[in-house]
Amino acid sequence: MRMLAIGLAVFVILHCIGILALAAEYHVNQDGSDDFTVIQNAIDVAIDGDIVIVHPGTYYENVRFEGKNIVLCSVDPEDAGCVESTIIDGGQSGPVVAFYGTEDEACLLSGFTITNGKNGYGGGICGARKWNAPHTKASITGCVITQNTAAGAVGASGGGLMWCSGTIENCTIRDNTAGWGGGLAECFGGSLENCLIIGNTADGSGGGLFRFEGSMVACTVKQNSASHDGGGLHDCSAEIARCSILSNWTEYGDGGGLSESTGSIDNCVISDNGIQGAGGGLYQWRGNIANSRITGNAAVFTGGGMYDCEGDILNCLIDDNWTGNFSSTDGAGIHVWVGNIEYCTISNNTGSGLCDCHGIIKGCTISGNVSWMGAGLDSCSGTLEDCVIRDNFADMGCGGGIYDFDGQIKNCLIINNVADYNAGGGLGHCQGMVQNCTIAHNSAAENGGGVYFHTGAITNCIIWGNGDAGEVGPDRCTPSYSCIQNWTQGGVGNISQDPVFATGPLGDYYLSSLTAGQDADSPCIDAGSDTAENLGLDKLTTRSDGGADKGTVDMGYHYPIFAVTIQTSLNDNEFGPGDDLEAYLSVENHGSEVVVDVYIGLILPDGSVLCIGPDGAYFGIFPFATSVFLDCNATIDPLKILDLTVPGNAPPGDCAYAAAVSQTGEQAFLRTSVSSFTISGG
């Protein structure tokens, strides 16, 4: 029978999908107590706008929407237990759910476990009649799509879903298999939101996703595998935001995380993906990457983090990636990149931090990388500006910090790098202008502890303390207006006096200045070739007190002017069990562009520190956010960081809400703010 109903649940569903008319509601229940016992029988009777509600049970059938814009849902699609117990089992006899392809956004499938389907295209859900027919735009929400197979056809694709081009939201796509696209394939123009895509397998490419086009927001793509390319994603065109792409794998091909795809990546984590070939994290990605972490990825051949990509990278952490081809051309962090890389931290990669990268590299910290040669940078070209290259280690070849860079190196701090077996601790075999750099305390086994076989002008630099191998190797150039230890070879404006370094808020290579409170003025102050303004350094500083360089430029590296303030606040100063505690944070930067780590924590009555991180709260010291880029005059208005109810068992006593900022990668807090409060007893 047909019943007219406008209950609360129906109203919510209709409101969400934009239907403002009355709808017929049918109930399907295996015990015979409602309208139907078979889902398909209810669909056959329904017309556009109707609702079919399925009660818990296992329904052994293959459901066909036949182009109808209806709602098919379980009793409570938001309850995980209800979804788990409301099962449609396809019996290996076709797709579990088939759309005709003409359904629009008013059509909804919600709250089922969809399993045991087998079809050439779309084992769990097939969104079209055939490959060249329209694709459904139906919404699919709150479903678990698991243990389905795409097989038995040439190019069998989409173990979980195929040809679904609407919104796919709050779904788990798990343990499906296919030739291509183990989880999902050929879904164009729709969106994936808050989905978990885990444990899917492709015999070809795209273990998780294959040929997805659209937006992908707040999804996790995890533990998928492909025999060929793209353990996580392959051949996709997507705007990817707030996603985690974790522990995906390819057996023979390239791109453990993502391969041969385009779009943008923002605020994502790409971590612990692996590959036998190239590009453990990303392979042939075309598009910009911002505010993301690319960490712990591995490639047996080359490009542990990224290989053969194009676009701009902004404010990313590229850390702890690995490549098995431990040679001068391995590029464990990034190998073969065309585009600008700005305000990134590229650290602790086993293999060169950057290799064969071409563009502007600006404001980056490149540290702790280990390789055969060119441990920090190898075979790159363009402009290297405002960067810190430190603590990199070349164990066999030349160039602990930089090897074979072709272009301008401006205002960089190159320190504590090692060429353990060969030459060029700081720079080796580079070409182009080196201007206003501090190259200090590097070392080499053979020659040129600071600079080796450099072709091009060296101006306004400090080259000092680079060990027994000497400051500058075979003289293919004559420096000018530079401070070089033990220098006796002439050149305009060169000096060999101790530069007298001083420690300041961002490091140990400021210049001593009476004005800043030190005991002496460095001879490198006002000793350069031009004015600071003409060289674009007048908004930076060599002084520990942050005074901008004016007039004749100082020699050596110029630090950003660190003028960041951080402020905490609470909605009250005393809380009892059951009270709402709201904590806020504001940040301002009135100095130069800087990249910082932000720490947020609660200091409890016993003195222990509970730090708030991106994934939860834990005891100990760890950052809330890393590599946060703050432009000059950047302001983060009061942002609610915590909103919690004080539990009844909270220990009473005096507490504090604290925040701090540090230079990226350091735990030396440069600015702190503390707001005290009290927890009263329950």
Instruction: Give DSSP secondary structure letters for 148-186.
Output: -EE-SSTT-B-SSEESB-SEEES-EEES-EESB-SSEEE
Is residue 474 within 8 Å of 486, Cβ to Cβ? Answer: no
pLDDT of amino acid 328? 43
Residue 18 reports pLDDT greater than 60: no
Residue of 536 and 13 predicted with greater confidence:
536
CA–CA separation, 462 vs 478, rounded Å?
14
**Spatial contact of 246 and 268, defined as CB atoms under 8 Å apart:** no
Could you give the percent of the chain with pLDDT greater than 70?
96
Residue 65 confidence (pLDDT) above 60 = yes
Confidence at residue 3, expressed as pLDDT on a 0 to 100 scale: 32
Q: What pLDDT, on a 0 to 100 scale, did the predictor assign at position 53? A: 98
pLDDT-derived band at 302 (thresholds 50, 70, 90) equals confident
pLDDT at 615: 77
Query: Any bridge partners for residue 364, and if so which?
Result: none
Judge whether 332 and 357 are in contact, CB under 8 Å: no
Decide if pLDDT at 495 tops 50: yes
Q: What gap in Å lies between CA 300 and CA 277, rounded to an integer? A: 6
Q: How confident is the model at residue 330 (pLDDT cuts 50, 70, 90)?
A: low
pLDDT at 290 over 60: yes
What pLDDT was estimated at residue 101?
97
For the chain, the farthest-separated pair of C-alpha atoms sits apart, in whole angstroms, at 102
Position of tokens 């015979």?
32
Tens of pLDDT, residue by residue over 512-540, are: 999 999 999 999 999 999 999 999 999 99
Average pLDDT of the residues in 33-57: 98
The closest alpha carbon to 299, from 317, 322, 283, belongs to 322
Return the ∠ at Cα 447 (arms to 444 and 450), rounded to 5°. Answer: 60
565-614, pLDDT tens digit by residue?
A: 999 999 999 999 999 999 999 999 999 999 999 999 999 999 999 999 88
Q: Do residues 469 and 495 make contact, with C-beta atoms less than 8 angstroms apart?
A: no
Minimum mean pLDDT range among 158-162, 351-355, 432-436:
351-355
- Name the more confident of 40 and 14: 40
Position 475 confidence tier, pLDDT thresholds 50, 70, 90: low
Which one, of 414, 409, 438, lies nearest residue 558 by Cα?
438
| Mean pLDDT of the region 241-259 | 95
Cα Rg of the chain (Å, integer): 30
Q: What is the pLDDT of residue 669?
A: 92
| Alpha-carbon span 624 to 196, nearest angstrom | 24
Q: Which contiguous run of DSSP H or E holds residue 440?
A: strand 438-440
Residue 8 binned pLDDT confidence (cut-offs 50, 70, 90) = very low
pLDDT of residue 12: 35
With tokens 């023979």, the residue in question is: 252
Query: What DSSP designation does 90 have?
Result: -
Each residue's pLDDT tens digit, 86-143: 999 999 999 999 999 999 999 999 999 999 999 999 999 999 999 899 999 999 999 9
Q: Structural domains in the chain?
A: 564-679 (2.60.40.3880)
Residue 14 token pair: 């209709």
CA distances, 534 to each of 268, 322, 493, 542, 550 (Å) = 39, 41, 18, 16, 10
| pLDDT band with cut points at 50, 70 and 90 for residue 70 | very high
Q: How many helices (H) and strands (E) does the chain have?
A: 3, 75
The answer, yes or no, to whether residue 7 has pLDDT greater than 90, is no
Binned at pLDDT 50, 70 and 90, residue 396 comes out as confident
Give mean pLDDT, residues 152-160: 94
pLDDT in tens, 184-219: 999 999 999 999 999 999 999 999 999 999 999 999
Answer whether residue 232 shows pLDDT above 90: yes
Rounded average pLDDT over 443-447: 93
Backbone angles phi, psi at 319, to 5 degrees: -140, 140
**What residue has token string 């040929």?**
211
Distance CA 190, CA 141 (A): 13
Average pLDDT value over all residues in the chain: 93
| Cα–Cα dist 444/423, whole Å | 5
Look at phi and psi of residue 524 and say left if phi exceeds 0, alpha if psi is from -120 to 50, else beta: alpha
Q: What is the dihedral of CA 80, 92, 109, 85, to 10 degrees?
A: -20
Count the residues in the chain: 682
| Token pair belonging to 618 | 């834990």
CA of 234: how far to CAs of 200, 219, 521, in Å?
A: 13, 16, 58
Give the rounded distance of the alpha carbon of 562 from its chain centre: 25
Are 428 and 448 within 8 A, CB to CB? yes
